[in-house]
Amino acid sequence: MTLIGDIKRLLLHRPEDRDRLHDGFMSEGFRIPVRDYSGAIYDASYLERIGHWAKRSWFRGKIGAVTIGSIIAQARRLKDSYESEFRELLDGADELDGFERKRRIPKLRMRAGRLIYLATDESLSSLSSVANKVPELHLHAEVMSAVATGNIDPLLEIGSNAAQAAAQPLRAIGRRAVTGQREFTEAETQALVVFVLNGVTVDYPQGSGGGDSELMRFAVNGADAQLMKNSKPYIRELACLHGLAAQPRHSEVLETAFDEDEVLAMDAIEQLQQSGSA
């Protein structure tokens, strides 16, 4: 919570540091998304709030203590801590049953969700292969592997929720996704679309259709007049919300914060699981 809070404080107070923070994360191998608050902070209510807070020493001191270096140092400590704890919790987890298993699985899932954004590719691949021995960690293990390698084939059959969980960290580091499939079911096409909407470049086999569909057309090209009159209501609505533009702006929208109170979320899997169980 402290790391996420400090990231948001820095981006709200000094939005011009966004690119430097992103570059700092990239140099460390972190896949933490860095939102753009430059538009949101010019809202009058925000300026009034900053003026009110600036009179208080605790606010000035806290802002002054938050730097790109301090944020990266926090992320390093979290990475080491979560990886050590995850390996310790994984030890013997596949042989547990009853209450002890139910107690340990949520702890493993929480740490796996954070490590997707923090661990090195090598560690993520290693942890994924071990985690896959525990059935309750299958989704996390496949997302970890996809993020570390770029191979999204196992995720496509799991669906769009798994795709979103991998797409955000892949986008954060600019990694290309790769699929060896030539034909795609409707569900797999929807998962592919999620990667494209997030701005992740997907490499297909030569001669592959790449998941041809109206939804994929929207993801690749943006809206057009034909899509705005589509017979499917949700395609029509998406196209109209996007509007006509020279090029698609999906990833730009996803990276932009529209309100200073907007939640800065790192654990996509946890959010998806909560949504699915609601």
Q: What is the pLDDT of residues 215-256, one digit of tens each?
A: 888 888 888 888 888 888 878 888 888 888 777 777 776 666
Can you tell me whether residue 59 is helix, strand or coil?
A: helix
Query: Residue 65's pLDDT is what?
Result: 81
Q: Which of 167, 170, 111 is nearest to 137 (CA)?
A: 111
> What is the separation of C-alpha 8 from the centre of its chain, rounded to a whole number of angstroms?
16
| CA max distance for the chain | 63
Torsion of CA 18, 22, 25, 31, to 10 degrees: 120
Residue 277 has pLDDT above 50, yes or no: no
Residue 273 has pLDDT above 60, yes or no: no
78 or 233, which is more confident: 78
Q: Is 174 left (phi over 0), alpha (psi -120 to 50) or beta?
A: left
Q: Which of 154, 252, 241 is nearest to 197 (CA)?
A: 252
Query: Residue 258's pLDDT is what?
Result: 45
Query: Are 3 and 78 in contact, with CB atoms under 8 Å apart?
Result: yes
Query: Residue 278's pLDDT is what?
Result: 32
